[in-house]
Amino acid sequence: MPPHETRIRVRYAETDQMGVVYYANYLVWMEVGRVEYCKACGFEYKQMELEDGVFLAVAEARCRYASPARFDEEVVIRTWVEDANPRMVRFAYEMRLAADGRTLATGETKHIFLGRDLRPCKMPEKYREKFGIHAPRTNQNAGA
């Protein structure tokens, strides 16, 4: 699936004493982008957890800050799957100011799939194509 864009407006509570967005909020925005990306793919995060008993646990998170965002500015969060296999998925993010396209931050999160017992498991088949994981092709000419 191509990158998905989510728009948010900076709330006053997300800023620090200097009047800029507090750094940890960018990780929250990445989560917002990730949840909206899944909806755009045709399923909800909550559905995967409740119906299939599969959770996406964050194993790694990275964020590189480039420029500050301030109260009431509109931010575009661009989200896409950078890499995926049946055991993990890595999302990439780009956060830009909507008004002029200035890059605010870039980042990525790596997730492992966990079952209800919180032990690693494989992603259910029905989600694999949505994350860009295609079934291996079989060689139909083998032995011919």
pLDDT the model gives residue 83: 95
Q: Which one has a higher pLDDT value, 142 or 82?
A: 82
Residue 144 has pLDDT above 50, yes or no: no
pLDDT the model gives residue 136: 60
Whether 72 is a known active-site residue: answer no
Q: What H or E segment, with its residue span, contains residue 31? A: helix 25-41
Q: Can you tell me the mean pLDDT for 110-122?
A: 96
| Domains of the chain as residue ranges with CATH | 4-131 (3.10.129.10)
Q: Can you tell me the mean pLDDT for 71-80?
A: 98
Residue 111 has pLDDT above 70, yes or no: yes
Average pLDDT of the chain is 92
The active-site residue out of 16, 52, 72, 83 is 16
- Residue 86 to residue 2: CA distance in whole angstroms: 20
SS3 of 71-111: the string is CCCEEEEEEEEEEEECCEEEEEEEEEECCCCCEEEEEEEEE
Predicted model pTM: 0.89
